[in-house]
Amino acid sequence: MTYLQGIFAASITPLNDDFSPDLGAIPGYLDFLAERGCHGALLLGTTGEGPSFSFEQRVEICRAAVRVREKWPHFALLAGTSTPSLDETVNLTRFAFDIGMDGTVVLPPYYFRNSGDSGLLSWFLNVIQRSVPADGNFLAYNIPAVSGVPLSIELLSQLYEAEPRRFSGLKDSSGDLHYAKQLGEKFGKDLCVLTGNDRLLSSALNYHASGCITAMANLISPDLRSLWDAFKSDKSTDLIQTRIDGVREISELFQPFPALIKYLLHHFFEFPLWPVCPPLEDLPQDSADRVSTMINLA
């Protein structure tokens, strides 16, 4: 899984004014991420507004994304294939692997939030065994503040015991340093753990994480890549981490991230001002004015 290590952007999804995916813009946007040091990208995650799109739209987005390989053949691509429906998640996950995605990132079923670990284990195993090829990489997605369903260390242990090859790891967006430490102590480097919080990148790497998948990588991937390269060279990451923390701290004042990131991409990098899909709302003008003076990405 060496190609599932490093800096991954939780990519935004370019949209047209009618909220349909701007398919023509997707390969060029991924090219931008690759040029700025990203090892890969996650499509259709939280920042990519994945749950807002239909099955057919997700299929189109994934097909558009793989075109980035024409220029960047080793750019790793992950697809968010989560839905509350078992069969739909299976079909999306199978499709993602069929067109050449390197892995899928899957939330727990987020409607029945009181399900126990045994029910979650059955659901995840059904998805893996029905849709993931023998050489495929299935990553669970732990973001309890959004999904309402935390993934326990015990559940992850049971998944790994049952499917040690196809269950490759998880994206951990809990923001919990203690949980990151527990993951490192329990699994070492056996699981691919990609932190979803830029502030925890240095600490997570010290706890055997494989890298990160973050919203901020859309904007500050050069800094994140510099930190990754410094860590791999056994150099201090303190100054770079402090700089990253500053941008993250300001950005958290203007959540949710999709609208903020789309605005900053437009303001600093001259991308179109892509809308977000309802129920999300575009960044209000007063917030846009404020954040433009607080963050400098030029």
Which residue in the list 171, 195, 237, 262 is annotated as catalytic? 171
Query: How high is the pLDDT of residue 280?
Result: 97
Which residue in the list 110, 141, 179, 207 is annotated as catalytic? 141
**Ordered per-residue pLDDT tens for the chain, 298 residues:** 667 999 999 999 999 999 999 999 999 999 999 999 999 999 999 999 999 999 999 999 999 999 999 999 999 999 999 999 999 999 999 999 999 999 999 999 988 888 899 999 999 999 999 999 999 999 999 999 999 999 999 999 999 999 999 999 999 999 999 999 999 999 999 999 999 999 999 999 999 999 999 999 999 999 999 999 999 999 999 999 999 999 999 999 999 999 999 999 999 999 999 999 999 999 999 999 999 999 988 6
Which residue in the list 111, 189, 232, 242 is annotated as catalytic? 111
Query: How high is the pLDDT of residue 1?
Result: 60
Query: How high is the pLDDT of residue 83?
Result: 95
Question: 2-237 belongs to which CATH class?
Answer: alpha beta
263 is catalytic: no
Structure tokens at 239: 């100054």
47 is catalytic: no
181 is catalytic: no
171 is catalytic: yes
Cβ neighbourhood burial of 30 (10 Å; 0-12, 13-18, 19+) = buried
